[in-house]
Homo-oligomer: A and B are copies of this chain.
Amino acid sequence: MKAEILAVGTELLLGDIVNTNAQYIARRLADLGISVYHHSVVGDNPERLKDAYELAFKRADLVITTGGLGPTKDDLTKEIAAEYFNKELVVDEESMKKIEEYSKRNNRPVLESNKKQAYMPKGCIILKNDHGSAPGCIIEDKGKILIMMPGPPREMKPMFENYAVPYLEKFSDGVLVSRVLRVLGLGESEMEDRVKDIIDSQDNPTVAPYVKDGEATLRITSKANIKEEAVKLLVPMESNIRERLGDYIYGVDDTTIEEVVAKLLIDKNLTIATAESCTGGLIASKLINYPGISSVFMEGVVSYSNDAKVKRLGVKKETLDKYGAVSKETAEEMAVGIAKTAGTDIGISVTGIAGPDGGTAEKPVGLVYVGLYIKGSVKTKKLNFWGDRQNIRNRTAISALDWLRREIK
């Protein structure tokens, strides 16, 4: 089966946003063994959209669209598709009910423009939208398949995974199995050096490195007629790589470092509190994104001012005067202080210079100290980053969490 990905939206054509949806869908279709030869983007224009359908169905059996399902009159993907396939648009009662309930809950009237989202091509398969109001749908006709999904990635991705992928599995041409190994604490070249011979001699499975925002990944992909065979090919390759990268690998696939750490804390029933300066709540916020964290995460302090460090955490004024707020000593007292005042097993602290100002020759922008108190003993770690403020703060949070992972593992 040949597929084509068609993104609809003038905001894409104008370069207001990046077409990350195409990448996501392309990768998942590759996993399913469905070949993709073209991606296209077209604006919210009836004639060009119709031409785009015609062209796509000339080249492919399956066309997947994203975008243009919203309430505004610019949103035309569904309307033009209905025209193309000569189908009437009819109310989908369940979708209409959902839209009405949503408006009610928000004390808003149900506008005509909202209702438009519940009109679907007659006879189509509805794809539920669990994260927004515009449902997607599948039209099967003339030996062709059209799958339409909303544009916002956080609506599109779960819809695709939960409702489109199960539908598509029957068209899968052989099976691809992929596994992404997630690596922290090793630079890109260092990681590549360790697995270079594997990458150079790859065939099936293939191994692809990728680096983004201080984190590296290795994607292993194997192909076979059935899933079991593909997994059999993948497993020894994964073991081989794991032997070389050891516990630099913190997780697989879509796992995040905060998820790994949160799970470890919950499993081991270790309570935690955070004391953050330059990261300003980023570590707490990442951990709290994990549902169920409330059983172990007790509290956090964003001790941005020196006053707060003294008052909330019991950092000694002399320490601040003698060593400065960004120092090993302050990080240590912050970690002990937050654990003691919160009564937790673990206290993790961060103090650093995120820039762009505030750096000196001795303490440059990017210098960060992390403190880690675990049940009576405390350690600190000095880190150096470069990049802009946001980048430094984010890398600091990730590195601190990764250090915590290794210490409690």
Seen from chain A, the residues whose Cβ lies within 8 Å of a Cβ on chain B are 10-20, 22-30, 36-43, 45, 48, 55, 70-74, 102, 105-106, 108, 111, 113-114, 131-132, 152, 154, 187-190, 192-193, 199-200, 208-213, 219, 274, 276, 278-285, 287-289, 291-292, 294, 297-305, 307-308, 311-312, 341-343, 355-357, 384, 386-391, 393
CA distance A99 to B311 in the complex (A): 43
- Given the known A-B contacts A16-B219, A391-B131, are A211 and B25 also in contact in the complex, defined by CB atoms under 8 Å? no
- Given the known A-B contacts A188-B70, A390-B289, are A294 and B305 also in contact in the complex, defined by CB atoms under 8 Å? yes
Inter-chain pairs besides A40-B40, A105-B384, A154-B213, 7 sampled, C-beta below 8 Å: A19-B39, A281-B288, A282-B285, A299-B305, A299-B308, A301-B302, A307-B343
Q: Which residues of B contact A43 (CB under 8 A)?
A: 37
Contact at A22–B15, with CB atoms within 8 Å?
yes
- Expressed in whole angstroms, the minimum distance between the Cβ of A9 and any Cβ of chain B is 9
Contact at A26–B39, with CB atoms within 8 Å?
no
- Expressed in whole angstroms, the minimum distance between the Cβ of A321 and any Cβ of chain B is 18
CA distance A211 to B151 in the complex (A): 10
Copies of this chain present in the complex amount to: 2
Can you offer 14 A-B residue contacts whose CB atoms are under 8 A? A12-B26, A13-B39, A15-B26, A15-B27, A16-B208, A19-B19, A19-B22, A37-B42, A39-B41, A55-B55, A72-B189, A74-B209, A294-B305, A299-B303
- Expressed in whole angstroms, the minimum distance between the Cβ of A300 and any Cβ of chain B is 3
CA distance A111 to B342 in the complex (A): 45
The main secondary structure of chain A at its interface with chain B is: mixed
Q: Which residues of B contact A297 (CB under 8 A)?
A: 280, 304-305
CA distance A357 to B295 in the complex (A): 13
CA distance A115 to B357 in the complex (A): 30
Interface core residue of A28, A45, A288 (most chain B CB under 10 Å): A288
Nearest opposing residue in chain B for A305, CB measure = B298
Contact at A302–B284, with CB atoms within 8 Å?
yes
Q: Which residues of B contact A282 (CB under 8 A)?
A: 281, 285
CA distance A209 to B44 in the complex (A): 12
Within 8 Å by CB of A11, from B11, B210, B311, B386, lies: B210
Contact at A300–B299, with CB atoms within 8 Å?
no
Q: Which residues of B contact A278 (CB under 8 A)?
A: 288
Nearest opposing residue in chain B for A301, CB measure = B301
CA distance A389 to B294 in the complex (A): 13
CA distance A74 to B19 in the complex (A): 24
Contact at B18–A19, with CB atoms within 8 Å?
yes
Within 8 Å by CB of A299, from B13, B193, B304, B342, lies: B304
